[in-house]
Structures are given as structure tokens and as C-alpha cells.
Structure 1
């Protein structure tokens, strides 16, 4: 049997590997290869070290997953209490922060479901949203439903954006691809899609489109408050 040669990798200088470098490489691997491709060996190859070098900083893959999850969720900054802004403004800011995190790191949702969540990971975000909704005058039931609606919309919009980026890669943007697709449809069968192809393409602009929907959702949820 012919032995397969070891993959060639650029080794890092001795004693320069640390936990932060490992976590940075783990985030990069998850973002570009996805959770299914995340292994200790793949992570070591990305770092240019032997697998045992990674184990010298983390005991197991699950420990890295927990640390990555904590690091990414820490990127969501809670609005400063007592800033003088309205609850609606603070809700908008907080939802935007969650959207940007999930759109930039779609693997976060997977990381939140593969292992039980311990401590305050993500819990502080939901707690603040509920407090803002109650502070805006919603009753208990309305606040609970509004928080769920906001998170459902935010997660769905972020995944839509992330998948659009993954499909397009370095090629044409999602809007251009959508416009080309709709413009090629038979107009007699799909008159609205063909006619509104430019406008539909313009609506695939990520954060601005998310904000458009978020503002409409907040207006409805907070109507009369």
C-alpha cells in the first residue's frame, strides 16, 4: 500500500501559537468551510501546525466550539442604558447588531444548537429586547410575541443574506443574478416578476433591505405605544 504524503503546510514560528490565534483560525474555518468541515486536523492545517499543538491550548473540539460561540456572541454590543434614546431606537440598534453577526458568521446558529448553552451566551440579548418592549408599553403577552417575531425575522433575513453571498462567491452579486433570472422569464406568464426585475434586484442589498423590513415590523409591533 502506498502511503499518502502528508499535506504541505507553512509552519508558524515556535512559541507564537496561542488561544486567540486558534480561535481566530476556528472562526475563519467555520465561516469559509462550514461546521461539517470543522475538525481538529483541519484547524491545525489552517494554522500551519501539528494537531497536537492545538491540543496544547484546548482539550477538545467541543471546548473550541464553546469558546468560539462566546467570542462571537460578545460581538453583539448591548445599547448603553440611559442613553436617552427611545426603546424603538434601541431595539433597532440591537436587532441590527444580531443581524450583522449572523450574516457575517452564519455558523453561529449551528454553534448555538449543537451543544447546550451555558451561562449568559445570547441570553442577555433576549433579556434586553424583552425589557425594551415592556418599557415601550407592551403587555406581557405582546412583548413575548414581539420578541419572537423580531428574532424570527432577523435570523431569517441574516440567513438569506449569508446564503446569497455563498452562492455568488466572488462572482456577480445576488441582485444582478436575480435580475438576470427574472428578466429571462416569459413575460406573458410572469408579468410582474419580469416588469419588476430591476426593483427586486435592488432589494437584494443586505442590510438596507433588512432595515426596511425591520422598520416596518417595529412600526407595527409598537403601534400606539
Structure 2
């Protein structure tokens, strides 16, 4: 009696001549956001697209070139507010919010932008706008430069914290385990923490709201009454 052979499902191929740089970059962003930069390979990208690896090489020289193009495309999504609104603090808030939104919506962007040498007018435009706004409120050259770095450190750090926390808490039972650990803390040793557990959990869960709260405080500290 003949033995039945296992049926192998054919990989779904993309339509002939449908591949183009834009489609490759769209797939690369999807792959990076879903699996992370560590899992990003030319083979994985080709499988995401449903094509052979060499088809991708016909549009890009390799992984590094695609990574640079992805990083630049993501930077293009940062929308700068209209200039000259007579509200430098508000404009700074909007620029920082755009950077935060980029890194939370596309977690892979953080690793790409910190490991690649990214040029391009969009990245430069963001930096230039922030520096101009900081100078316009009266900060010295040195203070404007340091304030820009401080705002980026806070924004990028907040995005990294919130995306990693959200990912960790998405696992089954993760929130319950965190709450259970906090509930058994001895009140005599950690009285303030135990008392503020509900408020602390609320603040940590409201990622974007908490970022806005902190950003307002950072701007007040950097700009004072300006």
C-alpha cells in the first residue's frame, strides 16, 4: 500500500513584476516592528514579500542600504508644526511629541536611528527647528544645545520605557503578577509606595499621558518663565 506523502504548502509568491522599492520598504518596516532589528535579514524580508532573496537584491544592495532607507522613511513621518506661531514652547512640545510618536509606533526605529549614520534633510530639519526655538526664547548657545539633548534624551527614553513595558505587560497574566508583587509589600517598610500603588500603576499604564506630563515639567524646568 503506497505511503501518503506529506503535502507541502507552496510559499505564496508575489505577482510577477510587482516588486518595487516602496513595497520592499513597507515590508521591511512591518518585519522590523513585528520581530525587531535582530530578526531582520534579507531572507526574512524576502519571505515577508513572498519573493526570492535575489529579487530584493535587484532593488537594494543589501541589508544596510535597506536599513538606511527605512530609517529615513520613518524620519519623514515626523511632521513639524507651522513656524512662527509666537508660541515657541508649544512648538517645542509638538516637535517632541512627533519624535515620541515615531518611536512608540515604530519601536524598531530607535535601534535603527541609534546604530545607523542617518543624514537627510528631515532629521536635520527636526534638530534645526528645536535649536532655533530654544534660541528664540533666550537660551544661550550652550544652554540651547544642552536643552535640545536633554529633550531628546527624555523623549527617546520615555518611548523606549513605554514600548518595552507595554510589550512585557501584553503577556498573559503579566499585569496580575505585577499587582500581586506590589500587594504583598510590607507597609511598615515601604509605607509611601504601598499607599500610592493605585496611582503608580495608573501613571505607568498611561504611557502617552505620562509622557506629556513629564514633557511639560521638563520644558518648564529648561525654559523657566520664558
Query: After TM superposition, is the score higher than 0.5?
Result: yes
Residues in 2 aligned to 1:93 and 1:111: alpha-carbon distance in whole angstroms: 23
TM-score, structure 2 as length reference: 0.88
CA separation of 1:156 and 1:172: change in aligned 2, threshold 3 A: farther
**3-state secondary structure, aligned to 1:203:** helix
Q: Which ranges of structure 2 fall in alignment gaps of 5 or more residues? A: 1-7
Deviations 1:44-88 (A, max 9, x none): 111121111211221211111111011000111111123x24000
- Which of 3, 24, 27 pairs up with 1:25? 27
Residues in 2 aligned to 1:8 and 1:113: alpha-carbon distance in whole angstroms: 38
Question: Cα distance, 1:24 vs. partner?
Answer: 0.9
Per the alignment, residue 103 of structure 1 pairs with 104
Q: Does 1:114 align with 2:115?
A: yes
Number of positions where the alignment pairs a residue of Structure 1 with one of Structure 2: 218
Question: Cα distance, 1:105 vs. partner?
Answer: 1.7
Residues in 2 aligned to 1:150 and 1:113: alpha-carbon distance in whole angstroms: 16
Q: Does 1:59 align with 2:67?
A: no
Residues in 2 aligned to 1:146 and 1:172: alpha-carbon distance in whole angstroms: 40
Q: Which ranges of structure 1 fall in alignment gaps of 5 or more residues? A: 1-5
Deviations 1:139-191 (A, max 9, x none): 112211211111110011000011012212364686x6644432232323222
Residues in 2 aligned to 1:9 and 1:85: alpha-carbon distance in whole angstroms: 57
Question: Cα distance, 1:37 vs. partner?
Answer: 0.8
CA separation of 1:186 and 1:7: change in aligned 2, threshold 3 A: farther
Indicate the RMSD between aligned Cα atoms, in angstroms: 2.1
- Which of 20, 27, 38 pairs up with 1:36? 38
CA separation of 1:121 and 1:62: change in aligned 2, threshold 3 A: farther
TM-score, structure 1 as length reference: 0.89
